[in-house]
């Protein structure tokens, strides 16, 4: 995909791999909508892109709030009449060995809310814009750390661990990717997910007490491959480990599990099926 003059939203792009991706997109001539929670870091990221001749704007939003997600979607619609690429990158890490269960502004388990539900809602809100800009791409930044969703206790009120919460939320992203790809057939919009790289040198990894052993540049290469590689044109519903097509946890390919997640997500976000795409019977 030729990136010059394309409009791209990268969530969580004021730090870590998201910032590297945003800077590279800017350098390639894209108009970058930088997202984060911190105004100063956002302005610094925009300044870095502009210093190299790129185009960028900062949109502030807290994705731990569904109202914040809707506000971000509204801000995007107010700034642009097209969106060529959406990269759902923002996330919360495992929190380390002693992570305590936390909840979002809406009372949902925090990692599920930020890592998965925010991307589900943001994508749903921005689908009309993406379809109007087709061919367009959605990239969901997931992880090789995956754990099957327990639909009887999706909010992990029992047996909580930060690792389990993180892995469940990341697999949810992949179920959503496969499900959405099916719904988007014929629209010219593709959606793929990936594990960018293991234990990149990011704040998230360091906060978990892990010594990084991969660079954010390696992860950025993998994300940009899905965002712009001609080889991915028209291909959708895939999971990549780095730049290699791979297979996710078996639950991602279970149609019943994907339907249960879709129904749960619509219920939790209040994003009624009438405003979503045609639901599978």
Question: What positions carry a catalytic annotation?
Answer: 166
Structure tokens at 281: 């019977």
End-to-end CA distance of the chain: 34
Q: How is residue 153 annotated by DSSP?
A: S
Main-chain dihedrals φ then ψ at residue 28, nearest 5 degrees: -85, 0
Structure tokens at 194: 């990936």
Contact between residue 3 and residue 25 where contact means Cβ atoms under 8 Å apart: yes
Closest to 128 measured CA to CA, from 172, 87, 177, 74:
74
Q: Does the N-terminal peptide bond of residue 92 adopt cis geometry, omega within 30 degrees of 0?
A: no
Q: What angle do CA 173, 177, 183 make, to 5 degrees?
A: 140
Q: What is the CA radius of gyration of the chain?
A: 17
CA dist., res. 86 & res. 134, Å (int): 12
CA distances from 217 to 16, 18, 123, 136, 197 (A): 9, 10, 25, 24, 9
CA dist., res. 62 & res. 93, Å (int): 16
Contact between residue 259 and residue 280 where contact means Cβ atoms under 8 Å apart: yes
């Amino acid at each position: 995909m030729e990136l010059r003059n394309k409009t791209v939203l990268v969530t969580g792009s004021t730090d870590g791999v998201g910032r590297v991706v945003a800077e590279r997109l800017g350098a390639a001539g894209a108009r970058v909508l930088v997202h984060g929670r911190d105004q100063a870091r956002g302005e610094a990221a925009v300044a870095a892109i502009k210093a190299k001749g790129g185009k960028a704007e900062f949109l502030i939003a807290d994705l731990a709030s569904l109202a914040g997600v809707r506000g971000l979607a509204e801000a995007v619609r107010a700034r642009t009449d097209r969106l060529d690429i959406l990269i759902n990158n923002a996330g919360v890490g495992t929190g380390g060995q002693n992570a305590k269960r936390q909840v979002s502004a809406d009372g949902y388990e925090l990692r599920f809310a930020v890592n998965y539900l925010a991307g589900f809602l943001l994508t749903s809100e921005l689908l009309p814009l993406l379809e109007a800009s087709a061919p367009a791409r959605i990239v969901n930044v997931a992880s090789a750390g995956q754990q099957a969703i327990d639909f009887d206790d999706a909010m992990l009120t029992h047996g909580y661990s930060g690792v389990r919460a993180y892995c469940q939320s990341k697999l949810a992203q992949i179920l959503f990717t496969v499900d959405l790809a099916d719904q988007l057939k014929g629209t010219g919009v593709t959606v793929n997910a990936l594990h960018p790289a293991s234990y990149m040198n990011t704040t998230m990894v360091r906060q978990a007490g892990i010594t990084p052993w991969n660079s954010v540049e390696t992860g950025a290469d993998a994300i940009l491959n899905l965002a712009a590689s001609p080889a991915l044109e028209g291909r959708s519903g895939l999971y990549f480990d780095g730049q290699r097509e791979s297979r996710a946890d078996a639950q991602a390919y279970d149609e019943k599990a994907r339907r249960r997640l879709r129904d749960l997500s619509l219920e939790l976000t209040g994003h009624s099926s009438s405003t979503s795409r045609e639901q599978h019977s």
